Amino acid sequence: MVTESRRETESRREREIRQRESQILDIARGQILTAGYLGLNMDRIAAEMEYSKGTIYQHFRNKEEILLALANDAQQQRIRMFQAAADSSGRPRERLCAIGAAAEAFLEQYPHFFMVEQLVRSVSIWEKTSPERRKLMRNCEQRCMAIVVSIVRDGISVGDLALPPEVTPEDVVFGCWSMNWGGMIIATTSDSLADIGIAHPGLALHHNMSALLDGYHWRPLSTEHDYAAHVQRVKQELFPALEPQAN
């Protein structure tokens, strides 16, 4: 039998490993924020932690693995925010709108997470990561998808939404997801939107999302409810802006 002393030793070792990995990720996050993906450097991480580079490689086999670990942290935070939005009051479409508010708040409060998620989806990075962390990210995406799909199913069950036979709840969520994700990427990476006539990309995204859901006749329609105001209310009540961190 494993003695109590041995269990305590193993527990302490596990805590030390988690703390060290958390420290590595904090330093890596700072490097990415300062200089992007090219600024991520294993030697500099080791130097800042005052460990050997070999110790860093015991936790992460390469910097791509660090990126994926950061992306998985991002996914966990998104799950927490999506679940809070899904648990909010209101009819199903209002709760779906709250999910949109959570997505906006996530981008505003955790831009570094959003940046890392874009980077890790590159094939050149993804292929260098471990199957275990890839599986974790896929599981996180499935959990996010399940949260939103359940709201669509609620809309159907209460009679607010009737989908055509060829359209599934997953299809609706994919449409919302692709529009939201793509719109946010364009809005955060393009500096020429105003020049091509898109003065307020966030507002344009809201209008297009409303048009998509109105097209499915999901009630309350956008003519019956102020969803833009609902987004702002949810952000203020559930996801208040983070306090600026001291340098």
Which of the four pLDDT bands, split at 50, 70 and 90, describes residue 111?
confident
**If you average pLDDT over residues 160-168, what whole number do you get?**
97
Q: Is the pLDDT assigned to residue 30 strictly greater than 70?
A: yes
Mean pLDDT in the chain? 91
Split at pLDDT 50, 70, 90, the class of 246 is very low
- pTM value is 0.88
**Which of 118-122's residues contact partners 24+ apart within 8 Å by CB, and which partners?**
118/185, 119/37, 119/67, 119/71, 120/64, 120/67, 120/68, 120/70, 120/71
What would the pLDDT profile of 38-74 be if each residue is shown by its tens digit? Answer: 889 999 999 999 999 999 999 999 999 999 999 999 9
DSSP string, 119-146: HHTSHHHHTTS-HHHHHHHHHHHHHHHH
Last residue of a domain, one of 44, 60, 76: 60
Tell me which residue of 194, 149, 192 sits closest to 174, measured CA to CA.
Answer: 149
Q: Give the pLDDT confidence score for residue 58 in this predicted structure.
A: 92
Whether residue 221 sits in one domain with residue 102: yes
pLDDT at 164: 96
pLDDT at res. 14: 87
- Specify whether 78 is located in the same domain as 187: yes
Same domain, 194 and 207: yes
Q: Taking residues 94-112, what's their average pLDDT?
A: 95
For residues 24 and 7, the model is more confident at 24
Q: Which of these three, 43, 60, 77, is where a domain ends?
A: 60
* Distance from C-alpha of 152 to C-alpha of 137, rounded to nearest angstrom: 23
Residues in the chain: 247
Please indicate, yes or no, whether residues 108 and 208 belong to a single structural domain of this protein: yes
* CB 109 within 8 Å of CB 235: no
Structural domain containing residue 38: 1-60
> With 90 as the cut, is the pLDDT of residue 220 above it?
yes
Domain total for the chain?
2
pLDDT, residue 47, reads: 93
Give yes or no for residue 222 having a pLDDT over 70: yes
Residue 245 resides in a domain: no
The CA–CA distances, whole Å, from 187 to 98, 180, 181, 242 equal 20, 10, 10, 21
The residue-averaged pLDDT of 222-236 equals 96
Of the CA atoms within 13 Å of residue 76, those in its CB half-sphere come to: 8
Nearest C-alpha neighbor of 99 from the set 143, 142, 144, 138: 144
